[in-house]
Amino acid sequence: MRVLVVEDEVKLAGLLRRGLAEEGHAADVAGSGDDALWMAAAAEYDAIVLDVMLPGADGFQVCRRLRENGVWAPVVMLTARDAVEDRVAGLDAGADDYLAKPFSFAELLARLRALARRGAVERPAVLEVGDLRLDPATHHVSRAGREIRLSAKEFSLLETFMRRPGQVLSRHQLLERGWDYGYERRSNVVDVYVRYLRDKIDRPFGRDSLETVRGAGYRLREDG
C-alpha cells in the first residue's frame, strides 16, 4: 500500500512512517492540511491516516475537502480522545474509520488493511492469481502450495501486480505505488525488482508469468 500520513507531530509522524515502511508499505508524511490536499491530488494513495489536530484547517475540514476534490482513498482519522463527537464529526466529514490516541500500531495496520480491501476496486483479503497466492495480512506468498520468501519490497511489488492481474503497469505507476518520496526514484529500480521477483515466483517453477510489454511496462498474466 501507499499511505499518506497527515500529522504535524514530527515524532509520531516519523514513527508511523517507519513502521509502515518496515511492513513494506510506502508512506509519505504531510505536516499540514494544505500539504495533504496537494499531495493527495498529486499521487494515488491506498489509504490516508489523518490526525484531527492540525495547524490551520483541522482534520475534519481536510477530510471534507479531500472528498470535495474527488479523493476517495479510505481515511482513518486519529482522534485525540475517544470522544463521541469527534468520531461523529470525522465519519460525517467522509472518514471511513477512526482510532483514538494513543493507539496500537498493529491495530492501525489492521484497520488500514481492512479499508484497503473495501476500496472502490475489489480487494479481497487473500489475493489469488492462477496458483499464485498472496496474503497481505500474514505476508505469506506461495505458488502451487509452495512457500516463497520475498523481501518487503518484492512483496509490495508483487501485491501491486496481483491487485491488477492482466493489466499493463508502467514503470512510473509501479514506482508511484511502491516507492515513496524519500526514495531516490530511478525507473531502473523497478526493472531490478521485477528481475528479483521473476527469480522467485517464475524461474524455479518453469513459469513466465511476469511479462515485459515493450515500450509500456510489465504485466502479470491473468492465469498466473
Residue numbers of the site for Ca ion (CB under 5 A)? 8-9, 51, 53
Minimum CB separation of residue 121 from Ca ion in Å reads 30
Q: What residue type is 195 in one-letter code?
A: R
C-beta of 29 vs 47, nearer to Ca ion: 29
Minimum CB separation of residue 54 from Ca ion in Å reads 6
C-beta of 8 vs 131, nearer to Ca ion: 8
C-beta of 30 vs 194, nearer to Ca ion: 30
Minimum CB separation of residue 207 from Ca ion in Å reads 48
Give the closest residue to 178 by CA, choosing from 194, 165, 166: 194
Measure Cα distances from 217 to 65, 121, 143, 194 in Å.
34, 21, 23, 11
C-beta of 97 vs 154, nearer to Ca ion: 97
Minimum CB separation of residue 29 from Ca ion in Å reads 12
Q: How far apart are CA 42 and CA 143, in angstroms?
A: 36
List the grid coordinates of 7. Answer: 500529522
Minimum CB separation of residue 7 from Ca ion in Å reads 5
List the grid coordinates of 162. Answer: 496481483
User: DSSP letter at 167?
Assistant: -
Sign of CA dihedral 27, 32, 38, 40: positive
State the CB neighbour count (10 A cutoff) for residue 22: 10
C-beta of 6 vs 26, nearer to Ca ion: 6
Minimum CB separation of residue 12 from Ca ion in Å reads 7
| Burial (CB count <10 Å: 0-12, 13-18, 19+), residue 11 | exposed
Taking a C-beta distance cutoff of 8 angstroms, is the pair 78, 49 a contact?
Answer: yes
Give the closest residue to 143 by CA, choosing from 91, 207, 55, 93: 207
Q: What residue type is 121 in one-letter code?
A: V
Minimum CB separation of residue 84 from Ca ion in Å reads 20
C-beta of 6 vs 148, nearer to Ca ion: 6
Q: What residue type is 4 in one-letter code?
A: L
C-beta of 36 vs 47, nearer to Ca ion: 36
